[in-house]
Structure 1
Amino acid sequence: MDPLEDVLSLLDTRSHLSTSLAAGGDWCVRFSPPSGVKFNSVRRGGCLLDVEGEPGPLVLAEGDCFLLTRRRGFTLRSGFGVEPVDAGPVFAAAENGVARTGEGEDVLLVGGRFSFGSRARELLLDNLPPVIHVPAGSGQAETVRWALDAIDRELRQRGMGATLVAQHLAVVMLVHVLRLYLAGRPSTATGWLAGLGDPTVAAALASIHAEPARAWTVAELARRASVSRSTLAARFKAAVGRGPLEYLRAWRIELAAKRLLQGGEPVAAIAHAVGYGSESALSTAFKRVTGVSPRDYRKQGHR
């Protein structure tokens, strides 16, 4: 199992496309902190991006896109010295799927957001920087541009199922953006996502995700990664921030949490399915991580 695919699937990753924004002349639009992960792509022209708490501005050129992974307000603008207007009224006045501000349509942005399940912050988002910028000029961004071009085409042509197709394409774009981030991540990054950038750690992660209920040992995982036990332990801890078996235990809890919310499967059956010998063993481990028992977690819904 591909760990990236595994986690995105576990988190119920979904895309929600928003109204496009056309702008011209001197303009400045202020956005409230978004829910989920916000993304925008500059399809025409260019502008500046300011994000609360981040140094800026970030210059966005035609073809660039960005992900905003934190719940922070942000501003898109043509330049300096322009009084901002709130995005709410601008988008409320949209026509034919396009909101307009300023004078003219020299700039066009398409965008939306990604929503995730309740564990997304710890599993994915905390391991990402607040803003991920993908410049159009980088050769690695070709697949991202392809997805964005396809989204743009679907939204303009409005064929049968266009919205659904565009939403799935947006998830494809998210996967490629995360791949680009991994390819260029700083060496100081940590977390399971950073571990995917180390071939040795990635091999161990893939083994864990393929058989999470297996009684893995560090020695067995090291053999899968073709390194010594000590090498795997050190590299895994340096990249992921925890040891291989600690990660395995945490991942089993995530799988159990997902199954608890999916239906009425007995807790004992879930325990055995994710690698625990008994319901009591799962309950002890589950409460240590989430703060509640499996049964209470199910009752509360945790979404």
Structure 2
Amino acid sequence: MSDPLTEVVRLLQPRAVLANIISGKGNWAVRYSEYGHPGFCIVLEGSCLLAVDGQEPIAISAGDFVLLPTTPGFTLSSFAPAPPVFIDPKLVPGGQGERRHGEPNGEPDMRSLGGAFMFDRADPGFLVSWLPRMVHVQGSARLAQLVQMVGEEYEDQKPGSEYMLSRLAGMLLIEAMRSAAAGSTPPGLLRGLGDERLALALKQMHAHIDRAWTVGDLAAVAALSRSAFYDRFTRMVGVAPMEYLLGWRMEIAKQLLRHEALPVAEVAERVGYGSASTFSVAFSRRVGQSPSRYARSD
């Protein structure tokens, strides 16, 4: 059975870059302007306050993992107020050692690893559209182990660290999304996977993308009536079943066209279209350009 989370992460091929150790002691605050790409924060030691624009401030502690799919502006700070240092992540490169805030000497009250996920393939907007504005995971022993390994790789910089970090980035994403799916999240893929009935239909859609699915077929997989399935899917995932399937088909098609260099007719067949012309019309409407033109573009 195909696993939607694995497929999403495999399609994106994430690698953790632009990362820095961030630490603070005493009264301190650092304000990051909007970045627009998926970002993360892993707390290695201690605790601090995280205030993301549009969200209530939260306390984050050692072992916590925060994923910001669009990374709006946010502030990291001590629990006592302090004038913030302003940083534009688009202008300040990562990988330049530890950034210390507040008192310069002594053991820090908080150490974290902050950075951005970059993707070798696919538009991260595709991932963002199915995720909550902020994913905050705490108390996960498995995630804590991954967090520790990421921190060690960044601090030690042993041979092979780049490869290790690319794999750890994928594992972090999957584990964080697993944890979020088990909790209460806004409508999206994670919430759908957290619903036992809908998860069955989502897995079948991903496993057999080339099948001529109907809402009735998917409702049968989920053991629900057609209307109950449609309403439940739309409410939990945020889009209608056929709209979700279309979006996933087009993401697969984009990868096959650009990275596998397959003929349009073969791509059409692989993603469930009976003819190249029908596929081309649907692709052009969704992507804004023809399949052949998309395959040639950078």
The secondary structure found in structure 2 opposite 1:129 is coil
How many residues align structurally?
291
Q: Could you tell me which residue of structure 1 aligns to residue 163 of structure 2?
A: 164
Residues 35 and 115 in structure 1, CA contact (< 8 A), matched pair in contact too: no
Q: How far apart, CA to CA, are the structure 2 residues paired with 1:119 and 1:157?
A: 31
Q: What is the aligned-residue RMSD (CA, Å)?
A: 2.6
1:207 Cα deviation (Å)? 1.0
Please give the TM-score of this superposition, normalised by the length of structure 2: 0.86
1:198 Cα deviation (Å)? 1.2
Pair 245,49 (structure 1): closer, same or farther in 2 beyond 3 Å: closer
1:88 Cα deviation (Å)? 6.3
Worse-matched range after superposition: 16-25 or 274-283: 16-25
Q: Could you tell me which residue of structure 2 aligns to residue 130 of structure 1?
A: 133
1:200 Cα deviation (Å)? 1.3
**Which runs of 5 or more structure 2 residues have no equivalent in the other structure?**
none
Worse-matched range after superposition: 151-160 or 24-33: 151-160
* 2:120 is aligned with 1:120: no
Q: How far apart, CA to CA, are the structure 1 residues paired with 2:231 and 2:9?
A: 26
Pair 218,50 (structure 1): closer, same or farther in 2 beyond 3 Å: closer
Out of 254, 270, 276, which is 1:279 matched to?
A: 276
Q: Where in structure 2 are the equivalents of 1:151-300 lying within 5 Å?
A: 151-186=150-185, 189-300=186-297
Q: Could you tell me which residue of structure 2 aligns to residue 59 of structure 1?
A: 59
The secondary structure found in structure 2 opposite 1:115 is strand
Q: Could you tell me which residue of structure 2 aligns to residue 101 of structure 1?
A: 101
Q: Deviations over 1:135-162 (max 9, x none)?
A: 3xx3xx1111111012223333433312
Pair 160,292 (structure 1): closer, same or farther in 2 beyond 3 Å: same
Pair 93,210 (structure 1): closer, same or farther in 2 beyond 3 Å: closer
Residues 147 and 170 in structure 1, CA contact (< 8 A), matched pair in contact too: no
1:209 Cα deviation (Å)? 0.8
Q: How far apart, CA to CA, are the structure 2 residues paired with 1:60 and 1:226?
A: 40
Pair 128,241 (structure 1): closer, same or farther in 2 beyond 3 Å: closer
Q: How far apart, CA to CA, are the structure 2 residues paired with 1:201 and 1:93?
A: 40
1:14 Cα deviation (Å)? 2.7
The secondary structure found in structure 2 opposite 1:7 is helix
Pair 110,224 (structure 1): closer, same or farther in 2 beyond 3 Å: same
Q: State, as a whole percentage, how many aligned pairs show the same letter.
A: 37
Worse-matched range after superposition: 159-168 or 254-263: 159-168
Q: Could you tell me which residue of structure 1 aligns to residue 147 of structure 2?
A: 148
Letter in 2 for 1:149: Q
**Which runs of 5 or more structure 1 residues have no equivalent in the other structure?**
none
Pair 94,101 (structure 1): closer, same or farther in 2 beyond 3 Å: farther
Q: Could you tell me which residue of structure 1 aligns to residue 25 of structure 2?
A: 24
Letter in 1 for 2:290: S
Residues 40 and 66 in structure 1, CA contact (< 8 A), matched pair in contact too: yes
Q: How far apart, CA to CA, are the structure 2 residues paired with 1:270 and 1:92?
A: 39
Letter in 2 for 1:180: S
Q: How far apart, CA to CA, are the structure 2 residues paired with 1:128 and 1:32?
A: 21
Residues 216 and 226 in structure 2, CA contact (< 8 A), matched pair in contact too: yes
Q: How far apart, CA to CA, are the structure 1 residues paired with 2:207 and 2:160?
A: 33
Out of 98, 110, 113, which is 1:110 matched to?
A: 113
